[in-house]
Amino acid sequence: MYADGFGIRPVLREMARELAGHGYYVLVPNFLYRHGPAPLIDLPEHIGDADRSALVARLMPLIEAHTAERVRRDADSYLRFLTAQPEVAAGPVAVTGYCIGGLLATRTAAAHPGQVAAVAAFHAPVAADGPDSLSRLTAEVHFGHAETDITPEALAELNRSLDAAGIDYTSEIYPGTVHGFTMSDTDAFDPAGLRHHWDRLLPLLARAGQAPPVHTRPAPHAT
C-alpha cells in the first residue's frame, strides 16, 4: 500500500489495519525514506485546503527526486521482504496506492508482471509514464479517478490504451469527488468515494487470489 504524497500518518495506518482485517499482510513503505523517517514534515491533524499548497510545495521536490528507476529498485526490495516473511502465504502479490502512490503501484506492477496479480490506484496520475508503460501490465487493474483529476475525454483515451493492451481492467470516475477523496484527514475526503474505493478494491484482491471471498464486501451494481 503506497501512501499519497503526505506519507505515512494515522489515516494510512487506519487504512492498512482495515485491509489487514480482511486477511492480508500489508506493507506500507515510506517510499521517501532517503530523506528521513515519516512524516518528513510536520503535518496538521487535519490537512485543510488552506494548508495543502504550502505542504505540497515542501514535499514536491522530494517526490520529483523519486525517479522511476528508484521506484523499481525499491519495489524489488519491498517484494523480497514480503516473500521472506513467515506469515506471508505463497502466491501472487497485489499493490495499491493513492495519489503519487498510485503511480508507484502501477510502476511496481509493470515491473513485476509475473508476481503482481492485481493493482489498484486511486486519484492517481496513472498515465504519467505514457501508454507504453501501461501496456506492460499483466495484473488485473482498477483505476479510481477523482472527478476533478480527469476529463471524460481523457478517461476514454486512457481506457482505449488499456483496451489496446488487452488488460483486464476497470477505470472509472468516482462521481462528485476531488483529488484526495480517500483521505479522511483532508478537506478532499468523500465518505461515499471511500466506500466505493473499498467496494472496488476488496473484490479485486479476492479475484487475484489474495483472500477468501467471504472477507470481501459486495461490489456495487453500478458500472
Count of CA atoms in the C-beta half-sphere (13 A) of 207: 18
| 122 within 8 A of 144, measured Cβ to Cβ | yes
Residue 163 corresponds to which cell in the numbers above? 483496451
Query: Residues 22, 112, 142, 179: which is the catalytic one?
Result: 179
Query: Residues 4, 149, 185, 190: which is the catalytic one?
Result: 149
Distance CA(68)–CA(148), nearest Å, equals: 25
Burial of residue 181 (CB within 10 Å: 0-12, 13-18, 19+) is: buried
Q: What are the b/e assignments for 83-122, b being 16+ CB within 10 Å?
A: eeeeeeeeeebbbbbbbbbbbbbbbbbbbbeebbbbbbbb
Query: Residues 4, 74, 99, 197: which is the catalytic one?
Result: 99
Q: How many helices (H) and strands (E) does the chain have?
A: 7, 4
Catalytic residue flag (residue 187):
no
Q: Estimate to the nearest angstrom the gap between the alpha carbon of 107 and the chain centroid.
A: 11
Catalytic residue flag (residue 132):
no
Catalytic residue flag (residue 99):
yes
Residue 29 corresponds to which cell in the numbers above? 513503505
Tell me the Ramachandran region of residue 23: left when phi exceeds 0, alpha when psi lies from -120 to 50, beta otherwise: left
> Which phi and psi (to 5°) does residue 8 adopt?
-70, 130
Residues taking part in catalysis: 99, 149, 179
